[in-house]
Amino acid sequence: MDSKKTPPLSSREVLAKLGINGIDHAGESDPETLCFDDDEPLASPLDDLARALQQRFTALTSGSPLRPGDTVVWKEGLRNRLWPSYGKPAIVIELLDPPVFDAEKNSGSPYFREPLSMTLGVFVEDGLHRGDFMVWHVDARRFQHWHEGEN
């Protein structure tokens, strides 16, 4: 097995692999299909992945302290529960110290030993219980203060 890394493709090479080579049927350069003026190698998708992971880590591990009565929303990219929906406010009912740990038994689950450190009050948005006020246990690190008009 060859362990050599494949060199990055240039924009023209990617277009050629997709069947878009920037040359029309008469052999002339076609500006509508020639998308790039330069021929720089494309960045690795792992660069963007690493940056996104760092951003989510920072969002998860930072933020203003929350208190009962605060109105909150999910931090971007950190929603892992059905309620509330993104951009929909919820109210902090209680902060749990120590947190309750999710009882999920499978260590391959994203909920395995998740620290449920806060209870949230939300209105159910649809179904049989639409409009009912429900209380959910969540990981407080995934929430931020809600400001009217921002979300």
Q: Work out how many domains the chain is built from and give that number.
A: 1
DSSP three-state, residue 67: coil
**What is this structure's pTM?**
0.66
Q: Give the closest residue to 144 by CA, choosing from 85, 84, 93, 76.
A: 76
- Answer yes or no: is 37 within a domain: no
Can the peptide bond before residue 115 be classed as cis, meaning omega within 30 degrees of 0? no
> What is the rounded distance in angstroms from the CA atom of residue 140 to the CA atom of residue 92?
9
- Answer yes or no: is 90 within a domain: yes
DSSP count for the chain of H helices, then E strands? 2, 5
Q: Give the closest residue to 91 by CA, choosing from 122, 132, 115, 116.
A: 122
pLDDT per residue over 9-57, tens digit each? 776 676 666 666 655 445 555 555 444 445 555 566 667 888 889 999 9
Q: For residue 107, is pLDDT > 90? A: no
- Answer yes or no: is 3 within a domain: no
- Answer yes or no: is 75 within a domain: yes
> Domain range for residue 71?
64-145
- Answer yes or no: is 47 within a domain: no
- Answer yes or no: is 32 within a domain: no
